[in-house]
């Protein structure tokens, strides 16, 4: 079987939030498939982000770190300008920048927390989609991948702001997919469930974590490498007839 349709050699992919969390996994996956990576993150310039960029460069692709607050339109415009100057095009956007905010009930949540989560998770995705889509329309092609969450369709206490933002991203994706289809631009959403990360690894070893896992069909959380195949598919020619879709990747956790 020929795998050329999954080949991203020579492509230019912007990954927001690419210096931490699942953003690192998405950046690595696209680089492994041959794409050059533009990491847009507020952490650019920190030792953590430098380590991430060095690791990706070892995969044989170019890495361009751009400090960017996705809630700031001027930062996003600079991201587009800088990317265009370096690569002359933007083939792929992965909107993975996001925060959880306070884990509090709605009645106890501060307006400042609500506003901050909505700003980063939803406004940030909107601003990056808008800016990148304008460039992709000129090219008459492109791939936009928004990162939602299983929390968008499963209510969990203390997660109102995060879940509301992630649910809204799904409709943003569908609307943008409809508006951009005529320009050969595919827009899809990936909704991960629970994956093992440095932030939650210890929790899954607790009695509460083990009890949670025992109720899942696969009896385990996901490994971040299990996200790589689907992100490559959505970023490549393999997904040319997939648009406006939300794809849960949760091992059946919410079945």
Strand order, beta sheet including 246-249: 63-67, 36-41, 12-16, 92-95, 142-147, 185-192, 246-249
- Residue 82 to residue 62: CA distance in whole angstroms: 14
Which sequence spans correspond to the domains of the chain? 4-196+230-247
pLDDT tens over the chain, length 255 residues? 458 899 999 999 999 999 999 999 999 999 999 999 999 999 999 999 999 999 999 999 999 999 999 999 999 999 999 999 999 999 999 999 999 898 899 999 999 999 999 999 999 999 999 999 999 999 999 999 999 998 888 787 888 999 999 999 999 999 999 999 999 999 999 999 889 887 678 888 899 889 988 988 999 999 999 999 999 999 999 999 999 999 999 998 877
> 43 near 68, Cβ under 8 Å?
no
> 66 near 44, Cβ under 8 Å?
yes
Q: Which of 99, 93, 92 is nearest to 69 (CA)?
A: 99
Note if 241 is an active site residue.
no
Q: At what angle do helices 73-87 and 124-139 cross, to 10 degrees?
A: 30
Q: What is 4-196+230-247's CATH topology?
A: Rossmann fold (3.40.50)
Q: Which two tokens stand for residue 14?
A: 């912007």
Given the residues 162, 183, 194, 241, select the one marked as catalytic.
162
Q: At what angle do helices 124-139 and 160-180 cross, to 10 degrees?
A: 10
- Residue 198 to residue 177: CA distance in whole angstroms: 34
**Tokens 């040319």, residue located:** 240
């Amino acid at each position: 079987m020929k795998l050329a349709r999954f080949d991203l050699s020579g492509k230019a992919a912007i990954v927001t939030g690419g210096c931490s969390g699942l953003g690192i996994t998405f950046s690595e996956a696209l680089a492994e498939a041959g794409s050059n990576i533009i990491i847009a993150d507020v952490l650019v310039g920190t030792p953590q982000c430098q380590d991430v960029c060095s690791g990706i460069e070892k995969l044989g692709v170019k890495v361009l770190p751009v400090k960017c607050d996705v809630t700031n339109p001027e930062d996003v415009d600079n991201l587009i300008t800088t990317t265009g100057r370096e690569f002359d095009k933007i083939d792929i956007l992965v909107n993975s920048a996001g925060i959880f905010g306070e884990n509090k009930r709605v009645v106890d949540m501060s307006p400042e927390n609500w506003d901050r989560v909505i700003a980063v998770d939803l406004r940030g995705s909107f601003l990056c989609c808008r800016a990148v889509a304008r460039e992709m329309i000129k090219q008459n092609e492109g791939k936009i991948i928004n990162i939602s969450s299983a929390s968008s369709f499963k209510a969990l206490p203390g997660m109102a702001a995060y879940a509301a933002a992630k649910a809204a991203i799904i409709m943003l994706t569908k609307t943008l997919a409809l508006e951009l289809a005529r320009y050969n631009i595919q827009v899809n959403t990936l909704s991960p469930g629970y994956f093992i990360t440095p932030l939650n690894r210890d929790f899954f070893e607790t009695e509460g974590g083990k009890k949670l896992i025992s109720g899942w069909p696969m009896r385990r959380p996901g490994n971040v490498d299990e996200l790589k195949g689907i992100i490559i598919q959505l970023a490549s020619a393999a997904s040319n007839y997939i648009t406006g879709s939300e794809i849960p990747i949760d091992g059946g956790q919410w079945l």
